[in-house]
């Protein structure tokens, strides 16, 4: 299976975590949404564990965060982040999400 490596800064990583938490609150209406959520449920747990581990190390926040994703996880995450970027009002978060989705789109293509 194709692996996708994503390098981002700590604040962008926190925006991803926030997006995944928001996704968990959305009511599922279609089978496509159920499919995406099922893919991202394990990915979300993995990223949250990485986030908690990084919070414990203050020097981690100064380094780039490396996220390793399977191809299908990257595609699902890209879709969620793109949708969330249109819902969030904070300019920094919106820009961070668009930067991440652009990078993911390049690596997926």
Query: What pTM did the predictor assign?
Result: 0.85
Q: Picking from 23-27, 68-72, 86-90, which range would have the lowest pLDDT averaged per residue? A: 23-27
pLDDT of residue 99: 95
Of all residues in the chain, what percent carry a pLDDT higher than 90? 47
Mean pLDDT of the chain: 87
CB atoms within 10 A of CB 47: 20
Contacts 24+ apart (CB under 8 A), 46-52: 47/13, 47/16, 47/17, 47/20, 48/17, 48/20, 51/13, 51/14, 51/17
pLDDT at position 29 over 80: yes
Domain assignments of the chain as residue spans, ordered by start: 3-11+31-108
pLDDT at position 75 over 90: yes
């Amino acid at each position: 299976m194709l692996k996708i490596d994503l390098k981002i800064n700590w604040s962008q990583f926190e925006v991803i975590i926030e997006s995944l938490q928001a996704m968990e609150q959305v009511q599922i209406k279609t089978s496509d949404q159920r499919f995406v959520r099922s893919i991202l449920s394990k990915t979300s747990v993995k990223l949250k564990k990485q986030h908690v581990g990084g919070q414990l190390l203050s020097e981690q926040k100064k380094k780039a965060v490396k996220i390793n994703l399977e191809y299908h996880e990257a595609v699902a995450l890209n879709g969620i982040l793109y949708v969330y970027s249109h819902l969030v009002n904070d300019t920094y978060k919106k820009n961070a999400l668009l930067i991440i989705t652009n990078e993911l789109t390049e690596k997926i293509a």
